[in-house]
Amino acid sequence: MAADSMEIDDGLYSRQRYVLGDTAMQKMAQSHVFLSGMGGLGVEIAKNIVLAGIKALTIHDTRKCEIWDLGTNFFIREEDVKNHRNRAEACLQHIAELNPYVQVTLSTEPLDETSSLLFLKQFQCVILTETRLSMRKMINNFCHSQQPPIKFISSDCYGICACLFCDFGDDFEVLDTTGEETKEIFISNITQSSNGEVTCFENRPHKLESGQFVTFREVHGMTALNGSVHKISVLSPYSFSIGDTSDMEPYQHGGIAVQIKMPKSFLFERLEKQLLEPKYLTPDFSKPEAPLNIHTAMLALDHFQEKHSRLPNIGCLQDAEEMRILSESVIETLHSKPQLDEVLVRWLSWTARGFLAPLAAAVGGIVSQEVLKAVTGKFSPLQQWLFVDVMDVVVPLETISREEFQPRGDRYDALRACIGDSFCQKIHSLNVFLVGCGAIGCEMLKNFALLGVGCGTQNGLITVTDPDLIEKSNLNRQFLFRPHHIQKPKSCTAAAATLSINPQLKIDPRLDKVCPATENIYNDEFYTRQDIIVTALDNVEARRYIDSRSVSNIRPLLDSGTMGTKGHTEVIVPRLTESYNSYRDPPDEEIPFCTLKSFPATIEHTIQWARDKFESSFTHKPSIYNKFWQTHVSPEDVLERIKSDESLEGCFHVVKLLSRKPRNWTHCVELARLKFEKYFNHKAKQLLHSFPLDTRLKDGSLFWQSPKRPPIPVVFDVKDPVHFAFIKSAAKLFAEVHNIHFTEKDLSQDDIMEITSRMILKDFAPSSKIVETDETVEKPDQITVSSEDERIALIQLGNVISAGQATKCDLQVKPLSFEKDDDSNEHINFITAASNLRAKMYNIEPADRLKTKRIAGKIIPAIATATAAVSGLVALELLKVIGGYPFEAYKNCFFNLAIPIIVFTEAAEVRRTQIRNDISFTIWDRWTIYGKEDFTLLDFINAVKEQYGIEPTMVVQGVKMLYVPVMPGHAKRLKLTMHKLVKPGAGKTYVDLTVSFAPEADEAEDLPGPPVRYYFRQQNN
């Protein structure tokens, strides 16, 4: 079967399709991958690439399950250890269950120097973990020499260090290096010169980079540019040069520059050469020497294993000394001679037998993305090494007895070898609140299970909450869920699945959304019980709320998120770092009302317009209709009140809807046809009537020039697939709203054609309505109703009542709630057809259903690789928080696995605000005042002055100003009791207030102070 003819299961892969695109998805679904080593890293890679949807995976392992594996491999169970099962056999069924489209097989044959490698020819990609260096070299040489080359990846996690190596051959072609959408730039001018300069509009930076290519369309005057391709050089954020334009006609107006993605070839060297002169990514620019130091240490570890056929013993000083000597020998062979990092080498030797599951999760996500690049040619591959260490986690443990790290014969021995037993006990006693149980939440629970979070005999509990139910599209990333879990609660299902990984865990799954409405559940007492808060959310608003609650209760918070191949992590530690709310991204730019209504320039504009039409026609108006008739139960009463000139809110629109209410399927089709004529024909004619094509502005320039596009009226043709799709979907939606039955035959083109062909439509009659052209004008909250409209409503309502069409059934409709993932509900079909018809009307390139669904549904592209990586990085920071590490230890991370780029940075250090020389505060500080029943506002102000040495000049509660001296009447409030001013809710013992202070000098504004928690009465300690 040809790759491009495969049908993709959108229900399962919808979020990932927006990351990889269909071409890459189809290539991936034809690929066979070999993976050796079913340890903690190998199983992470297997999970991610099977979820992604390769065609077939062969997992290889010769080792038997041991007790250690329970703390490193989330698919190995206690019975596997008891039965001494092969690790690949133990994992096979679990991995296969992740994706029914992927064939998973196993191999347990030894892979050594005597093995024939010819069997590898059936694979497009070979991945090695836990493989000796000599074998890695041999297999890499075999893969590199094939035609075409077999893509080769090797990766390992030993204790505190991890590495990744890629070799995709001498000439690896990538069609799309970034995965970003191609940019379209509206042009305002092009110079006629030897180095023509293209200028875009001031408010629309082009966001191109030098060396990229563009083509042109719709350029007036300099028409020779249309269809031509040019390499650009960026001159400014709003201009770029394209080469010689001096022989072309002068530029007049209009034009769009469209970015073109050009293929790029990557050259890879074999492992043998790269061992001596590695090319690598530097993830932490504060430690530029680290990659070569890790490379040196891990090569020394390879030589140690080759020599002794074992890893160094845990905490063994003799083995560590031999590792140091081997490292010095390695440095002599390297082209670059790094300075020996003895501390790193010693810790690698001490911990090499150990395993940090979070490090494997992070590296496994990155490795998996490289596998997908290898089999699809999508995104820029890693060239050629990545080295990671977690020295920040172990260096503070230097003084602990080596005995702490020795095995105890349980599932935590691999972890214990890295961080010691006391640290493990701290983890077990942890109370963690995990907010969100989607993709990141599932990965975090897996990490918690392997670490043993919350499984202490006395203390420890994981509380996880998520109000959502499992959908099919979740299964592509949320690996704890299976098809039979669909429509079951995420939190409860994930908790049960996590217990199968580690039965010792204590988990409390909840369904409550964390928001102001549930503060009676997630109250201060609840937060105070938590040792750490971990968010796994997909929206900024929820993050901001939980951050505010964490700061208020002085709890550490770990936040993370992904968008496609991009990911970020942020660690927030009381009194050390700033919080999530300390910074605010600029708000998303809204599309101007007049652009949406009359002057769309891009497909995003037409999609948003179509989404708005859906909401208006099928959600908002039906909701208003129901609400009106619930308030005014008698149409006759409404008629009498209108006659007596009484104004009833929404009456005109409700009566209009009642009078036009479809009574049968034919009426639904007719209504859809009328909407077509209004939206796509009469609207264009009205605009051209208001602004003929030759209309000019005051400065003499044409009104209809880029980015404004003159509309072309669309003439209805039921045989046109887009026209028919609009009528069919709109009619079905009207039928659903009005509870009208229809059959499959009713939906046929012939039946719909018969209905529409009988209709006699009114000719277009121009209106005198003013068309808004000012981009700063916002959409009006209400449409004004004229006296003529009210007169018409009176007649219409009277006619409906006379005709007996205002019965109780007529006064109830069914508002629709937009749902993007149900392909049978016509919601996306309607929006796609409406958007593309409007695009045709304005000569805008249409969008397919998939793109329309993403934009209209505001879908966040997602892939399991990035999710796994962020969860691992977060869990590493969790260890530092548990250990109470100093500020310098904490790292935030941003990555984009597509490019690839990984950047570790220090957390943002908390800022201290100075009020007076001796008075300052941070976001973590809170002043406290205890009051009593008759405590007045003046008492409160005096209490602040007495306790903290400074008098407040302003007191605010949320957005309510309690006391601002310059405001009329506020001076009188000083005598009012705090109880009367604040009005505490039931059960509330305190209120958080914001105070300000007078500036010392003649500064313009008062100085903000820390939050002041006012208790209504003295608290009992």
pLDDT tens track for 495-522: 999 999 999 999 999 999 999 999 999 9
Neighbours of 450 (CB within 10 A): 27
pLDDT at position 784 is 65
Report the DSSP pairing between strands 151-158 and 125-128.
parallel
Quick one: which of 568, 570, 565, 569 has its CA closest to 862?
Answer: 565
Average pLDDT of the chain is: 93
Q: Please write the tens of the pLDDT for every residue from 237-262.
A: 999 999 999 999 999 999 999 999 99
pLDDT at 583: 85
632 and 648 in contact (C-beta within 8 Å)?
yes
* Angle, in degrees to the nearest 10, between helices 317-333 and 342-351: 130
CB atoms within 10 A of CB 410: 15
pLDDT at 917 (0 to 100) = 79
Quick one: what percent of the chain has pLDDT higher than 90? 81
CA 102, CA 375: separation in Å to the nearest integer? 15
Task: Supply 310's token pair.
Answer: 């074992």
Report which listed range, 294-298, 806-810, 818-822, is most confident: 294-298
Q: How confident is the model at residue 1020 (pLDDT cuts 50, 70, 90)?
A: low
Average confidence (pLDDT) over 371-380: 98
Whether the bond between 148 and the residue before it is cis, its omega within 30 degrees of 0, is yes
- Collapsing DSSP to helix, strand or coil, 642 comes out as helix
At 151 the pLDDT is: 98
pLDDT digits (tens, 9 = 90+) for 116-138: 999 999 999 999 999 999 999 99
Tokens of 707: 């980015």
Euclidean distance between the first and final Cα of the chain, in Å? 74
Residues 6+ apart with CB under 8 A from 775: 592, 594, 595
Q: How confident is the model at residue 4 (pLDDT cuts 50, 70, 90)?
A: very low
* DSSP state letter for 809: G
CA distances to 65, 511, 806 from 309, rounded to whole Å, are 19, 51, 88
Q: For 838-872, how does the pLDDT look when each residue is reduced to its tens digit (9 = 90+)?
A: 999 999 999 999 999 999 999 999 999 999 999 99
Active-site positions read: 594
pLDDT grade for 635, boundaries at 50, 70 and 90: confident
Q: Would you state the pLDDT for residue 17? A: 94
Kindly tell me the sign of the dihedral angle through the C-alpha atoms of 822, 827, 829, 831. Answer: negative
CA–CA–CA angle 533, 536, 537 (5° rounding): 115
Q: Is the predicted pLDDT of residue 588 greater than 80, yes or no?
A: no
| pLDDT for 614 beyond 50 | yes
Which two three-digit tokens encode residue 42? Answer: 């190998």
Q: List 355's β-bridge partners, or say none.
A: 159
pLDDT by residue (tens digit) across 79-121?
999 999 999 999 999 999 999 999 999 999 999 999 999 999 9
Sequence-distant (6+) residues with CB within 8 A of 575 are 554, 910, 922, 924
- pLDDT, residue 154, reads 98
pLDDT value of position 5 = 53
Q: Which of the residue ranges 85-89, 649-653, 788-792 would you say has the lowest mean pLDDT?
A: 788-792
pLDDT surpasses 80 at 278: yes
Enter the tokens of residue 767: 């209106």
Question: Cα(73)–Cα(79) distance, rounded to whole angstroms?
Answer: 14
| Average confidence (pLDDT) over 652-662 | 88
Confidence (pLDDT) at 783: 66
Do residues 518 and 465 make contact, with C-beta atoms less than 8 angstroms apart? no
Q: Does position 987 have pLDDT exceeding 80, yes or no?
A: no
pLDDT band at 3 (very low <50, low <70, confident <90, very high): very low
**Which of 357, 498, 507, 499 lies closest to 432, judged by CA?**
507
* pLDDT range class, residue 1, cuts 50, 70, 90: very low
Give the CA-trace dihedral at 138, 143, 144, 149, to 10 degrees. 180
User: Residue 210 pLDDT more than 90?
Assistant: yes
Element (H, E) at 960: strand 960-963
Q: Identify the band that residue 2 occupies on the pLDDT scale cut at 50, 70 and 90.
A: very low
Quote the distance between the C-alpha of residue 915 and its chain's center: 39
Alpha carbons 454 and 527: distance in angstroms, whole number: 16
Q: Are 569 and 905 in contact (CB under 8 A)?
A: no
The DSSP code sequence of 965-1019 is: TTSTTGGGGGGSBHHHHH-PPTT--EEEEEEEE--SSS-SSPEEEEEEEEESSPP
